[in-house]
Amino acid sequence: MRSEEWFEEAVEFKKGVSTALQVQKKLHSEKSKYQQIDVYETVAFGKMFSLDGVIMVTEADEFCYHEMISHPALCTHPNPRSVLIVGAGDGGVVREVLKHPEVEGIELCEIDEKVIEISKKFFPHVSKDLGNPKVKIVVQDAIEYIKEKHKEYDVIIVDSTDPVGPAEGLFKRDFFINCEKALKDEGILVTQAESFFYDPQFISGIFEKTRGIFPVMKYYYTMIPTYASGTIGFTFCSKKHDPEKDLHEERARKLQDLKYYSTGIHRAAFVMPVFTKKFFK
C-alpha cells in the first residue's frame, strides 16, 4: 500500500512496474494455510480479491478472464462431457463451463478451501454455481490428485496463481504429462500462462519443457485491465483438435450471457503479435 487509500500490486516490481487501485475500504483479511487472502472495495472495479498481494478477481473485469480460459477449449472439443478444473476456487470457471449443456460433470480441485469460502461470501455472482449438482468440489493438491487419473476427462482447465508457492508444480513437465494421461483420446488442456509482455522467458520455458507431450500446443490471450500489462495468456494443449481449425461455431453462437467471448474473439485470440513469434518455437 502506498497510502491507506491505495492497493499496490508488487508482482512486477522487479520489472519497475506496479498496478495500483484506489480502495474505499478493506472488507476482509486473513492468512490461510497457503496464502494471504484480502478483499477490498475499490473505487473503479468494485470488489477485488487478492492472494499474497496479487489481484485475482475484480467484479468489473473478471469475465474477461473466466470466459477466455473456458470457452475456447469447450468450443473446440467435439463433445465436452467431463471437465476437471484446477484451482479456480472463486467459481468463475465453473460458472462459464456450466453454460455448455453438453457438460455432464465437473470436478473442481482447489487446494485452499478458504478461497471457496471467501468467494461465496463476497463474490456471489462469480461463485453462484459452486453448489450446482453437476459440480464436485475436491479440496486437495491437484498435483497429487491428477496422478490417480487415467483417461477420465474431456477438458482440463488449470486456473492457477502465478508459478510460485503452492502453484509452482502446476507448471512443471511432470504435471503436464499427468494431465495428458488423465485426458481422454480427444482431450484438451488449458492453463494460465502469464503475459507475453512481461514473461517471455516463462512462456518459452513452458513450450520447451512440454514439447512432445501434446500434438497440438498453442498460446492465446485475453485483455483484462487489472492484470499486469493488461493482458494474460493461456496454453492450449490438445491431443487432436486445433482451436483455429476445429471451432464448433454453431455451439459457440448458442452460448448465453457472454460479455467477452465470441467466435470472432476466439479466432483473434490465437493471432499473436510479430514480436512474440520467437517465444513459441
- Residue 70's DSSP bridge partners are none
Q: How far apart are CA 87 and CA 56, in angstroms?
A: 12
How many other C-beta atoms can be found within 10 angstroms of the C-beta atom of residue 249? Answer: 11
Whole-angstrom distance, CA of residue 173 vs CA of residue 179: 10
- Decide if 159 is catalytic: yes
Candidate list 129, 159, 199, 257, residue with the active-site label: 159
Set of cell numbers at residue 1: 500500500
Could you give the strand order of the β-sheet that contains 82-87, starting from the edge strand earlier in sequence? 135-139, 105-110, 82-87, 153-159, 183-192, 231-238, 216-223
- 223 burial via Cβ count (<10 Å: 0-12, 13-18, 19+): middle
Q: How far apart are CA 205 and CA 110, in angstroms?
A: 25
Catalytic residues: 159
